[in-house]
Amino acid sequence: MKVTEVQVGLASCGIAAGAEAVFNQFRKILGSKVVVKPVGCLGMCYNEPLVAVITDSGERFLYKRVDAALAKRIAEEHVKGGTPLEDFLAPDDGFFKRQVRIVLENCGQIAPTSVEEYRERGGYEALRRAIQEMTPQEVIVEIQQSGLRGRGGAGFPTGMKWSFAAQEPDPVKFIVCNADEGDPGAFMDRSVLEGDPHRVLEGMTIAGYAIGARFGIVYVRAEYPLAVRRVKEAIAAARKAGFLGKRILGTPFSFEIMVKEGAGAFVCGEETALIASIEGRRGMPRRRPPYPAQSGLWGHPTVINNVETLANVPWIIRNGAEAFARYGTEKSKGTKVFALAGKVRHSGLVEIPMGMTLEELVFDVGGGIPDDKEFKAVQIGGPSGGCVPASLAHTPVDYESITQTGAIMGSGGLIVMDEATCMVEVARFFLDFIQKESCGKCTFCRIGTKRMLEILTRIVKGEGKPGDLDKLIDLGYKVKTNSLCGLGQTAPNPVLTTTRYFQDEYEAHIREKRCPAGVCRALLRYSIDPEACRNCKLCAKACPVGAISQGDGPFQVIQQEACIRCGRCREVCPFGAVRVE
């Protein structure tokens, strides 16, 4: 069993966890004797940095949480010595078992920008087939039959979008890849662009062939510098290999792709705002129709697809619509990638077949809640989505079922919340986000969300008034119905779902001035248990406002009037004597 290759996960999150030092360590020790390769995100972010050691018999050993010291041992003992370090291997915790990897099939397995490695795994075969053996119409029909729907959130049938643009007589058309992944808590598109950029380029090129476009633009948010770099490198490599440029693969079809960097505006994920941004203006949505498929960039028909949508396309052309439609439910076919984060053991990037329930997603794939805490809700769909409570965890992941709960599928951000998460505070957090990101065009979105935010801020401060709840809900529906674009129409969702499912928490804040989850600072009360206190005075030293003093005995007390509830005393107490309620 000779080791032939060492793979180090070098996506943004891996790098943040220290993977670069690990990579350099392997390079230094192994030199050119063994291939040391940077790969993209494997999805097991909770085990980063990850290292895979591969032998000539194709066996794969996955090490978790590797640092430079462990890298040295792996290099010496396993790669050179041939003995795996059993204790440091990532255990088989069922993370991959229930996943189906279509979009992520290459992520973390190949050198991201290499055309050769992408081709070894079937890459660019779909493009060849499409432009050499199929008519544009046949490509569209194939996508239509697969049932693929937009993965950016709204779930519009992709094939139908393409057919609209294909019907337009205008000889100039565009394909835009929407990689303006602005949802806080979502990193699917980043991982795909960093880990398997050719897949997205191939999808775009096929889309270009199908609708008759010669030009594609990848609109990436500027906060993703590594993704931008990898996509640019991949474009150069694809052009060199003849998969982009003039007369691709000897056919009359030519296609070019360029990258456009966003400048930090959540609303630019909306199609018409994105177009305005590419054209050099403020990213403000306009009224539809005309839809971009009829009149988009510079007035030409433009198809805007999300990264994940496009990443599905090569697989569908290669394996057929039927194979794709085998996964999923009646109306939602294929898989969905989720960025699983928050209070969950296996936070990371997962791809599951549509129709799996939220509960299975959180517990079987996600490994459940850490520290044996109680599962309370999932926030799905980011600021446009909502909180689905544990009581509805049997809801299957498909566009219609999720929408019924009041949330939306969204682009794939999925934050797990436990008993220590305050739902009122979460609603306030999202509304604060949306309020700052509102472009200001529609009055209801601009001012309505501001008023809602003021009410919520009041509630979490313990200054809520009776009637606040009704006002919130009333305003919420008004913002929903009187806003032009998807941002405004979905902005109240986090509030409306939490008021619906967690009304008692709102009531506790408003009436009893109590935060059941123990999160809202203004409503907390810190005290020192005289029995547990050993009078070490660490808390008194740590208190920034001098609110802690000697009690009538060998213990400290907190002066409630002076306390600012910063929680510092609780952090420093070695005996756990500081109580909070």
* Options 8-16, 152-160, 196-204, 308-316: segment touching other proteins (CB under 8 A): 8-16
Binding of other proteins by 46 (CB under 8 A): yes
Binding of other proteins by 456 (CB under 8 A): no
**What's the closest the beta carbon of residue 343 comes to other proteins, in angstroms?**
7
Binding of other proteins by 218 (CB under 8 A): no
For other proteins, the closer of residues 126 and 573 by Cβ is 573
* Options 199-207, 306-314, 339-347, 500-508: segment touching other proteins (CB under 8 A): 339-347
Binding of other proteins by 562 (CB under 8 A): no
Q: Is the peptide bond before 314 cis (omega within 30 degrees of 0)?
A: no
* Options 9-17, 158-166, 387-395, 463-471: segment touching other proteins (CB under 8 A): 9-17
Structure token pair of residue 378: 């999932």
Q: Hey, how many other C-beta atoms are within 10 angstroms of the C-beta on 356?
A: 22
Binding of other proteins by 523 (CB under 8 A): no
**What's the closest the beta carbon of residue 297 comes to other proteins, in angstroms?**
10
For other proteins, the closer of residues 153 and 413 by Cβ is 413
**What's the closest the beta carbon of residue 174 comes to other proteins, in angstroms?**
13
| Cα distance between residue 344 and residue 332, in whole Å | 26
Binding of other proteins by 541 (CB under 8 A): no
What are the φ/ψ torsions at residue 92 (nearest 5 degrees)? -80, 95
| Cα distance between residue 199 and residue 219, in whole Å | 16
Centroid of chain to Cα 258: 24
Out of 137, 532, 567, 575, point to the residue binding other proteins (CB under 8 A). 567
| Cα distance between residue 332 and residue 397, in whole Å | 9
Binding of other proteins by 17 (CB under 8 A): yes
For other proteins, the closer of residues 433 and 501 by Cβ is 433
Binding of other proteins by 118 (CB under 8 A): no
**What's the closest the beta carbon of residue 358 comes to other proteins, in angstroms?**
16
Pair 323, 317: CB distance under 8 Å:
no
Pair 348, 186: CB distance under 8 Å:
no
8-state DSSP, 334: S
Binding residues for other proteins restricted to 242-261, rule: CB under 8 A: 260-261
Look at residues 366, 412, 398 and name the one whose alpha carbon lies nearest to residue 96: 366
For other proteins, the closer of residues 48 and 117 by Cβ is 48
Q: Hey, how many other C-beta atoms are within 10 angstroms of the C-beta on 33?
A: 10
Structure token pair of residue 118: 């992408």
For other proteins, the closer of residues 82 and 264 by Cβ is 264
Centroid of chain to Cα 403: 19
Out of 244, 303, 417, 539, point to the residue binding other proteins (CB under 8 A). 417
Look at residues 338, 328, 331, 464 and name the one whose alpha carbon lies nearest to residue 409: 338
Out of 76, 135, 137, 225, point to the residue binding other proteins (CB under 8 A). 225
* Options 56-64, 184-192, 200-208, 481-489: segment touching other proteins (CB under 8 A): 184-192
Out of 282, 511, 534, 537, point to the residue binding other proteins (CB under 8 A). 282
User: Helix axis angle, 503-510 relative to 423-437, nearest 10°?
Assistant: 90
Interface with other proteins: number of residues (CB under 8 A) = 54
x/- contact string, 420-439, with other proteins (CB under 8 A)? Answer: -x----x--xx--x---x-x
Look at residues 488, 462, 116, 416 and name the one whose alpha carbon lies nearest to residue 272: 488
Binding of other proteins by 341 (CB under 8 A): yes
Binding residues for other proteins restricted to 261-280, rule: CB under 8 A: 261-266, 277-280
Three-state secondary structure of 81-105? CCCCCHHHECCCCCCCCCCCCCCCC
- Beta-strand ranges (E) seen in 253-327 are 256-261, 302-306
Is the sign of the CA dihedral 32, 35, 39, 42 positive or negative? negative
Binding of other proteins by 445 (CB under 8 A): no
For other proteins, the closer of residues 273 and 392 by Cβ is 273
| Cα distance between residue 515 and residue 63, in whole Å | 42
Binding of other proteins by 566 (CB under 8 A): yes
| Cα distance between residue 445 and residue 202, in whole Å | 38
Is the sign of the CA dihedral 8, 12, 16, 17 positive or negative? negative
Binding residues for other proteins restricted to 58-97, rule: CB under 8 A: none
Binding site for other proteins (CB under 8 A): 12-13, 15-17, 45-46, 48, 181-187, 190, 222-225, 260-266, 277-283, 339, 341-343, 347-348, 379, 382, 413, 415, 417, 421, 426, 429-430, 433, 437, 439, 566-567
